[in-house]
Structures are given as structure tokens and as C-alpha cells.
Amino acid sequence: MREIRLALLEADVNFKVVREFTRELREKCIDAEIVGGLNPGQQVVKIVADQLTELMGGNAAGITFSPRPPTVILMAGLQGSGKTTATAKLAQLLARENGSSVAVAACDVYRPAAVEQLVRVGAQAGATVYEQGTDKDPVEIAGWALDRAREDGKDVLIVDTSGRLHIDAELMQELARIRERVKPHCVLLVVDAMTGQDAVNVAESFAETARFDGVVISKLDGDARGGAALSVRAVTGRPILYASTGEKLDQFERFHPDRMAQRILGMGDVMSLIEKAEQEFEEKDALALERKLRKDEFGLDDMLEQLRAVRKMGPLANVLGMIPGLPQNQLRQVDERELDRVQAIILAMTPEERRRPELIKGSRRLRIARGSGTSVQHVNRLVKQFQQTRKVMRTIGRGGRPNLGALMRQAR
């Protein structure tokens, strides 16, 4: 229980939630029987993961759409929580998943450049942006946007509201007036995962006035392990619907309680890793790569393409963090600049050198090092690593089984 308590506190779970959670967990563990081939320690971990999943809602939830369009979604939250960006991300997600025609309303008239930001990111997301500048009352803008959405036959209207640096009466009154004017089908509270335990105070304050229906957790690509998600769900009882996992518009996904439970416990998130890989790697490209492997034609150009595809999945430390068993302290040491160096070295080679790395000898290595702004040692290391990779590819391509022990000794 002590280790579990420390893991939850390190993940920024609210201390009151941790205390109640461990109390209930202790009772369940005492009454539990060992299942299958698990040992007592593994059984406790299973109970913890199941309990965390249940505490965060059990199954992934979503927005219930109105039978009479448009479905109105009201976004609320403090300034700096990522609300405007989350609005555009949600618009893109709904258009991609449901084929919905989505519009967004720019009602944040107080924060400098908020309207311009929504116009820019909304256009990138493929949404129609309704805005009237910053001179009008946000309640009137919201009502006007709703009328436009009905006239234009939009399926969804997402209303981006103003935020404050802290909870105050003026913010809540304005939010209540907008809610009364547009009568939203769903109110979403955007909570910054980096705020940790303070997220509970924010959620409780909004729950009293805004009566939000669900939560969007933003900035999960940072050091936070998701404790804010657990705390907000446990205290308010509102489901967490979506999670923002990066700065790009497509780095926004439905919230899965079971995956977040694994993340909080440091157990990785294999399913999200698979989904990210499926988004970035086309099936036809995979088949083309397979053919090259079978014909022993895998070159540095192919390696560069794979590297670029991996980087599209997000920061490397986040991608590796989804793999179970990798220590968190090692993930913090991942240097993205090493990937930049590898890319620069490959781009400094001629097409023939990329196809046939065995041509890269003394004078060529010096030229490539100068052209890429690196050293001969860096070039040597890349060529050696590629040759080892090629050995594995050649073995697998011929239907054999690689000698992993020998490869690991070579890598050392």
C-alpha cells in the first residue's frame, strides 16, 4: 500500500483521493483470492489497475449528439488551460470520426489574439469559424453563431468561451449567461494536466456554477502522468471524455480509463501506441517495405522514412513511455537531437551511398561529417548501427529467427 500511495502521489493524484483509494483497495486486497498463475504481488497490481479503471469511469465515454442539429458544445476552463486549441482539436476529431460538419464560435473577447488564434487553428482543423471580433458582448456572439450554424446546416457548433487566471464571479456569470443563451447539449471543462492536485479545486468551482457534463484533459504530453484525470473524476463524478496528448491538432483522442490507469502506474500504454502507429504507417507502405526486406534492398532512405514516421507520432519520450517496463528516469534522458543528427547525416549522403552504405569509407565519411555538421565518429556509429539493423532485417526477410543474444552483444 505504501508503494501504491507513493506512485499515486508522484502522479499528482489529490492526497484525499489517494487516502480514500488506498483504504478501499486494502479491503479488496484482503478479501481477494489468487487467480490463475499470478503471485500475490501481481494480484495486487491487477486489483489496483482494475480499481483505478473503475474510479475513472470504467469504459470510454463520448458526446451524445442531438437528433436535431446542430449539437451545441460549450467549452469552459481557466485561461492557459489550452481551451482554444482543444476547441479546434475537438472539431477536427468529430469531423474525422463522425463525418460531421463542424463550426466553432469565437467568444473569448478578452484574451489578446484569442479570436485570431481560433480563426487560424479552426481553419487548419477544417471547421467553419464564426467570429465578430472583440468589440461585442460574448453572449450576443454566441447567439449569433448559433443562428448561423442553423442556417448553414452545421451538425456541430463548438463555443469557445473566455477564461480567467483564477475563478471569479464575473467569469461564472458570463458562462451562465452564454449557457442560457445557446442551451448547450454538452458542457466540457478543459483541465490542464500539469496543474496536478490544483485541478480538483478548479473542477469543483466549475461544477457548482457551470454544471459541466464532461472533462477534457489537456497537455498530457508533458511530465504529468495523469493524476489530475483521476482526481477530477473521483471528486466531481463527471466523466473524462477526451485527452490532448500533444501540440498538433491530430494529437487529441478519446479518453480510455484503462489506458490511463496503466499510465499512472507506469505500466505503459500499448493500445495507444498501436493506434498511433496505424495512423502514421500506411498499409501499402508496410507491404512495400516487406518486399524490400525480402529482396534485401532495405537502405538508408528507407530508414529515414521510418524515422520520420516515428517522429510524427509525437515526442520520442512519449512514444517510448507507452512501452511497458521502460524506467521513467531513462525516458527523461531521451535526446531528440540525436534523431536530428541521424537525419542530417543521411541527407548529407549521395543517393548511391544511401543505397549502398558499404561504399562509405574514409574520405566519404569525412565529407558526410562536414556536410551534416557532425563528426566522423557520429557517421561511423550510424553506419555500424545500420549494418546491424540490416542483418536483423535480412534474417527476418528470409523467414529466419535472429540471434538476439549475438545482436545485443554486438550493440554493447
How many CA atoms, within 13 angstroms, populate the side-chain half-sphere of residue 131? 21
- Tell me the mean pLDDT in the region 101-112: 86
* Residue type present at position 408: M
With a cut of 60, say whether residue 68 has pLDDT above it: yes
Q: What confidence score (pLDDT) does residue 73 get?
A: 92
Q: Which of 225-239, 339-353, 379-393 has the lowest mean pLDDT?
A: 225-239
Helix (H) or strand (E) run with residue 222 in it = none
Q: How far apart are CA 176 and CA 110, in angstroms?
A: 17
DSSP structure string for 176-211: HHHHHHH--SEEEEEEEGGGTTHHHHHHHHHHHHT-
Buried/exposed code over 213-222 (b: 16+ C-beta within 10 A; e: otherwise): bbbbbbbbbe
DSSP structure string for 254-309: E--HHHHHHHHTT---HHHHHHHHHHHS-HHHHHHHHHHHHTT---HHHHHHHHHH
Q: What confidence score (pLDDT) does residue 158 get?
A: 92
* Residue type present at position 229: A
State which of 29-43, 74-88, 115-129, 157-171 shows the largest mean pLDDT.
115-129
Q: What is the mean pLDDT of the chain?
A: 76
pLDDT higher at 193 or 407: 193
Q: Kindly give the interhelix angle for 198-209 and 169-182, rounded to the nearest 10 degrees.
A: 50
pLDDT higher at 348 or 386: 348
CATH 3.20.20.80 fits 2-55, yes or no: no
Q: How far apart are CA 119 and CA 138, in angstroms?
A: 16
C-alpha cell at 249: 491538432
With a cut of 80, say whether residue 407 has pLDDT above it: no
With a cut of 90, say whether residue 197 has pLDDT above it: no
With a cut of 80, say whether residue 13 has pLDDT above it: no
Q: What confidence score (pLDDT) does residue 326 get?
A: 47
Confidence at 145, pLDDT banded by 50, 70, 90: very high
Q: What percentage of the chain exceeds 90 in pLDDT?
A: 8
Give the closest residue to 87 by CA, choosing from 163, 194, 183: 163
Give the closest residue to 189 by CA, choosing from 163, 169, 166: 163
With a cut of 70, say whether residue 359 has pLDDT above it: yes
Give the closest residue to 182 by CA, choosing from 70, 63, 65: 70
Q: How far apart are CA 91 and CA 384, in angstroms?
A: 46
276-411 fold: 434 Repressor (Amino-terminal Domain) (1.10.260)
The answer to whether residues 103 and 152 touch, using CB atoms and an 8 Å cutoff, is yes
Q: What confidence score (pLDDT) does residue 17 get?
A: 80
Q: What confidence score (pLDDT) does residue 134 get?
A: 81
* Residue type present at position 125: A
* Residue type present at position 83: K
The answer to whether residues 336 and 320 touch, using CB atoms and an 8 Å cutoff, is no
Sheet strand arrangement including 71-76: 128-130, 102-106, 156-160, 71-76, 186-192, 214-218, 240-244, 252-254
Residue 318: count of CB within 10 angstroms of its CB = 21
**What pLDDT digit, counting tens, does each position of 270-287 carry?**
445 555 555 555 556 666
The answer to whether residues 185 and 72 touch, using CB atoms and an 8 Å cutoff, is yes
Domain with residues 71-263, CATH architecture: 3-Layer(aba) Sandwich (3.40)
Q: How far apart are CA 36 and CA 252, in angstroms?
A: 37
**What pLDDT digit, counting tens, does each position of 366-396 carry?**
999 888 888 888 888 888 888 877 776 666 5
Domain ranges across the chain: 2-55, 71-263, 276-411
C-alpha cell at 389: 539493423
Helix (H) or strand (E) run with residue 252 in it = strand 252-254
Q: How far apart are CA 152 and CA 159, in angstroms?
A: 16
The answer to whether residues 91 and 156 touch, using CB atoms and an 8 Å cutoff, is yes
C-alpha cell at 242: 477526451
* Residue type present at position 324: P
Q: What confidence score (pLDDT) does residue 287 get?
A: 67
Q: What confidence score (pLDDT) does residue 26 get?
A: 85
- Tell me the mean pLDDT in the region 191-212: 73
pLDDT higher at 408 or 189: 189
